[in-house]
A and B are shown apart, each in its own frame.
Chain A
């Protein structure tokens, strides 16, 4: 490993994972001087639902739940954010607990912006426009399906708001929550985490901290993703995938979004295909393309994908192949649960050019159009 000449890294959020992790939330919030959270949950309160579980977990604490919103949230829009910000203010809440993933967490972050900065979050769309700490926020993952939940960004009305202050303060991963995720959600979360971790690791800004987070994320995914997708109620595997997704999100927060991210987002906008699935296919094609070009892949990433035993048993020149084989191994283990190509998903070949153009346009850095097309074509063919 080379010592970097210069780098910056923000290791946020604090992770609490494992048995009785939810019960640690009250004391953690006390540490922030908070004790009256607004809770946003993914389903209606009931003895078996996440809302019921979190209420029971908060028993015997100094904490009072200011309000519990347990309605469905279809998307992160100004309307729902404004209503929930009103609820937060009316109940004199001082913190937010978001249970779930996807749009619900985007909404929770936007509510946090609105109640702290006192401006509609849409006005702060863009990067680095929030300049102060927000209210304490706890994320309790079920499945981190968008890859942004534990990262430094949120979306409102289709616009991204990016700021270091948007990473949750605490991520509490508990099997009582992760085991209720559905198989599809687990697959999307795992594939997005894999793509984000791989892309952060091969980005120009990669540094030892990004490598450490990416390594942990990729190793957990290699070991647990197929089992978690096949049986999300498997406590050990579902917790491992939630951890991997959180680590990948932190790596992603500290590196620029890469080619597969923008291509998958553009494809999702054009076709409605979940970006998780296409990111998974694209990242596999990206690594294969690099191997074919003899560009190779960084040793650190080979180690993460192949694992220490396989990595150390191979010659230096064969390590990229070992890494690609290991990645292929995950896809093989997933079998029919993971499509083999974009073609299988019904993407028309003539849509690829349009997708590349949209991705290049969306990316703030100049994406190499030719390389994007090559990778997208490979993913379309399943190569």
Chain B
């Protein structure tokens, strides 16, 4: 057997898919920050977290990532795309790009992806579940009902989130997310 006929292969990169995920993470990261100011449930979730709480959500092993933390006033703050050099008590990695695509194209909701073991959680699981609840709510604000219903575990009833509150919140969150405040 000529071993040279069987060379080493370095698998390539899925650049376009990674760019799509990076854009989605950027939008969701900024939207979490905005929702933390607009929605009392998101605000409460962040206030219940520890003072120096920071979480990173991204794709194993080469990213992209989003980093979101809690500031001293208990509000959510988007801290950028680079987890390097930051003290991150909760790191939630999606195991690979394809699993991330399933989540960010809403073929699988975050909770289903969690249940299917597509995430690796490095940190406190209770905090991770709070983050999943926040992500669900942010998706409800960001996406039309038809798509959001696929992305979240349970779409909120009218009594939990009235359409008026949802639409006002949606406009405000999109505006704040785009302007970054």
Q: Which residue numbers of A lie inside 8 Å of B, CB to CB?
A: 18-20, 23-24, 26-27, 55-69, 83-84, 86-87, 90-91
Q: Known interface pairs A20-B102, A86-B1, A87-B3. Does A61 touch B96 (Cβ–Cβ under 8 Å)?
A: yes
In Å, the complex CA distance between A63 and B60 comes to: 12
In Å, the complex CA distance between A157 and B59 comes to: 45
Indicate if the CB atoms of A19 and B102 lie closer than 8 Å: yes
Q: Known interface pairs A26-B96, A83-B1, A87-B3. Does A59 touch B14 (Cβ–Cβ under 8 Å)?
A: yes
The CB with the most chain B CB atoms within 10 A, among A20, A27, A69, A91, is that of A20
In Å, the complex CA distance between A84 and B3 comes to: 9
B12: which A residues are within 8 A, CB to CB? 59
30 residue pairs bridging A and B, Cβ less than 8 Å apart:
A18-B116, A19-B102, A23-B95, A23-B96, A23-B97, A23-B99, A24-B95, A27-B60, A27-B96, A55-B11, A56-B11, A58-B11, A59-B11, A59-B13, A59-B97, A60-B13, A60-B14, A60-B97, A61-B61, A62-B61, A63-B11, A64-B11, A65-B9, A65-B10, A66-B8, A67-B7, A68-B6, A68-B9, A91-B3, A91-B6
Write the nearest CB–CB distance from A253 to chain B, whole angstroms: 24
In Å, the complex CA distance between A8 and B96 comes to: 36
Residues 129-166 of B at the A interface (beta carbon under 8 Å): none
Q: Which residue in A24, A60, A66, A87 is a CB contact (below 8 Å) of B11?
A: A60
Q: Which residue in A23, A60, A83 is a CB contact (below 8 Å) of B62?
A: A60
Number of interface residues of B (CB under 8 A): 24
A60: which B residues are within 8 A, CB to CB? 11, 13-14, 18, 59, 62, 96-97
Indicate if the CB atoms of A65 and B11 lie closer than 8 Å: yes
Q: Is B98 positioned at the interface, with any CB of A under 8 Å from its CB?
A: yes
Write the nearest CB–CB distance from B1 to chain A, whole angstroms: 4
Write the nearest CB–CB distance from A42 to chain B, whole angstroms: 15
Number of A-B contacts (CB under 8 A): 69
B62: which A residues are within 8 A, CB to CB? 60
In Å, the complex CA distance between A107 and B97 comes to: 32
Indicate if the CB atoms of A61 and B11 lie closer than 8 Å: yes
In Å, the complex CA distance between A57 and B9 comes to: 13
Q: Known interface pairs A59-B13, A60-B13. Does A24 touch B96 (Cβ–Cβ under 8 Å)?
A: yes
Residues 81-122 of B at the A interface (beta carbon under 8 Å): 95-99, 102, 116, 120
Write the nearest CB–CB distance from B153 to chain A, whole angstroms: 19
Q: Known interface pairs A67-B6, A91-B6. Does A23 touch B98 (Cβ–Cβ under 8 Å)?
A: yes
Write the nearest CB–CB distance from B8 to chain A, whole angstroms: 6
Residues 7-35 of B at the A interface (beta carbon under 8 Å): 7-14, 18
Indicate if the CB atoms of B96 and A87 lie closer than 8 Å: no
B13: which A residues are within 8 A, CB to CB? 59-60
In Å, the complex CA distance between A61 and B98 comes to: 11
Write the nearest CB–CB distance from A41 to chain B, whole angstroms: 11
The CB with the most chain B CB atoms within 10 A, among A27, A56, A63, A68, is that of A27
B102: which A residues are within 8 A, CB to CB? 19-20
In Å, the complex CA distance between A344 and B120 comes to: 54
Write the nearest CB–CB distance from A12 to chain B, whole angstroms: 18
Indicate if the CB atoms of A27 and B120 lie closer than 8 Å: yes
Indicate if the CB atoms of B10 and A64 lie closer than 8 Å: yes
In Å, the complex CA distance between A59 and B15 comes to: 10
Q: Which residue in B8, B96, B97 is a CB contact (below 8 Å) of A65?
A: B8
A58: which B residues are within 8 A, CB to CB? 11
Given contacts A58-B11, A69-B6, 5 further A-B contacts (CB under 8 A): A24-B95, A60-B11, A60-B14, A61-B11, A67-B7
In Å, the complex CA distance between A169 and B14 comes to: 28
User: Closest residue of chain B to A66, judged by CB?
Assistant: B8
A91: which B residues are within 8 A, CB to CB? 3, 6, 8
A56: which B residues are within 8 A, CB to CB? 11
A59: which B residues are within 8 A, CB to CB? 11-14, 97
Cβ proximity bits B54-94 to A, threshold 8 Å, 1 near / 0 not: 00000111100000000000000000000000000000000
A24: which B residues are within 8 A, CB to CB? 95-96, 99
Q: Known interface pairs A68-B6, A87-B3. Does A20 touch B99 (Cβ–Cβ under 8 Å)?
A: yes
User: Closest residue of chain A to B9, judged by CB?
Assistant: A65
In Å, the complex CA distance between A67 and B12 comes to: 15
Write the nearest CB–CB distance from A138 to chain B, whole angstroms: 15
In Å, the complex CA distance between A205 and B10 comes to: 47
The CB with the most chain A CB atoms within 10 A, among B8, B99, B102, is that of B8
